[in-house]
Every structure is written in structure tokens, then in C-alpha cells.
Structure 1
Amino acid sequence: MKTKIIAFAFGILISTTAFAQREGRSPEDRAEKMTAHLTEKLSLTEEQAEGMEALFLKNMKEGREKAEQASGREERMALREEQQTAMEDELKSLLSEEQFNEYLTIKEDLHERRGNNRGRGRKDS
């Protein structure tokens, strides 16, 4: 009985910690993390990194506001695509052509990895 109580308490502790870590990521934290990653991958200058972080942060905040105002899934997806296109237009002016092309490659790789993870556990018919 004592072991079951300890195991139960441990399970609650683990799930609470995992939830807190997931919820603790503010737009500022995410923008900073994305910028740090891309600064390394794209060899950004300090000025480029600052501009990119500001752009990511603005994009995340506006995206959340627009998503909350959208009436349905299709509208949210259309708004997201429109916002992504506008952000990429701004990135083109911030990055060199080579850096922008590398950014697109990184983005595509990320989408492919996420897409592959979505199908886990499904069997092809």
C-alpha cells in the first residue's frame, strides 16, 4: 500500500513538472530560442538577430490575437498562411539571399520531421 502511494505521488509530480515546463514557454522565450538557433545556423550578425527576434515576437503575438478572433479552422489556417507570407517578405529584407534560402531549407526540414511524427502508430492501408 505504501509503495502504491509513493508511486502515485511520483506520477503526479512528474506530470505536473512536464505540464509546467510546457506552459512556461512565453512568446518571448520561444522567440529568443528560435533566434538563438537560427543565429547559429545562419551565421546572423547581431543586428540581424535582433531584427529576427523582434519579427518572431511580433508574429507570435499577432498570430495568437488573430487566431482567437477567427471563426473557424479554415479562417485560422488562411490567416496563418497570410501571416507567414508577410513574415517571410520581411525576412527577405533582413537576411542575405543565401541566408534566406538556408532559412527556407531549415523550415522545410522542420515541417517534414513534424509531418513524419504525426503519423506514428497508424498503419498504411
Structure 2
Amino acid sequence: MKNNLVNAILSVALVLISISSFAQRGQLGTPEERATRQTTRMKEALNLSAEQETSVADINLKYAKQMQSLLETGGRNLKTARTAKSSMKSKDNELKEVLTKDQFNKYLTLKEDMMSQMKELRQQRQ
């Protein structure tokens, strides 16, 4: 259990560090641009209906704005990592209400793959 918590915190920290390093280089764009890119990827990967797309876009924008605020004010510390993890869990819960069971499972798989790719990129830079 303790290892799972440590792994989760490290994963969130990795995401925050990656996001902040991209943000410093200006590659992430605004929260609106990030949310639009996320929604487009999800629409294609999950075959979202028009109604789902609207809901997913709203959720993505809400959490992109939260993450932007966190990046700007939170710094790189354990409290920020925990807040980001909590925010991502809330986003997943909201998406679970909008997506079908199959879509949500595919979303989780895609999310896990993305985390693995980010981790590999981070390791390559070191």
C-alpha cells in the first residue's frame, strides 16, 4: 500500500514536472488550447457522440484551468503533487459519468500509456 502511494505521488510529480518544463518552453499553450487538443484526441480515440464531446470538452477545460492555476502557484512540492493527483481523480470520476464503460476503460488505458511515454521521455532527458 505504501509503495502504491509512493508510486502515485511520483507519477503525479512526474506529470507536473513535465508539464511545467513544457510550459516554460511555451509548448503547452493556453488551458483552452490544451483542452481542445485533449478533446480532439479523445473524440477520435473513444468515438465520442456529439453530446459526449460537449461534456468532455467542458470537463477538459475545467481541469486544464485548474492545472494551469496549480502550475502557476503551486511550485514543485509534495502538496502540489497531491493536489494534482486529487484533481486528476476528480476529472476521471466526472468522465466516468459521461463515457460508456468501454470508453472509460479505453480512456484509462490511453492515459496509462501516455504516463509511460512521458516517464520514458523524462528518463531520456536525464
| 1:12-38 CA-partner distances (Å, limit 9, x unpaired) | xxxxxxx66x26x21111111111111
- Which residue number in structure 1 is paired with residue 62 of structure 2? 58
Alignment correspondent of 2:97: 93
- Equivalent residue pairs, number: 102
Q: Output one character per residue of 1:32-69: Cα deviation in whole Å (capped at 9) or x when no partner.
A: 11111110110000111111111111111122224444
Larger radius of gyration: 1
Q: Given the alignment of the two structures, is residue 113 of structure 1 paired with residue 114 of structure 2, yes or no?
A: no
TM-score (norm 1): 0.73
TM-score (norm: length of structure 2): 0.72
TM superposition outliers: structure 1 runs of 4+ over 3 Å: 66-72
- The one-letter code matched in structure 1 to 2:116 is E
Name the SS for the 1:44 alignment partner. coil
Mapped to 1, the partners of 2:66 and 2:101 lie a distance apart of 26
CA RMSD in angstroms comes to 2.0
**Unmatched runs of 5 consecutive residues or more in structure 1:** 1-18
Percent of aligned pairs with the same amino acid: 27
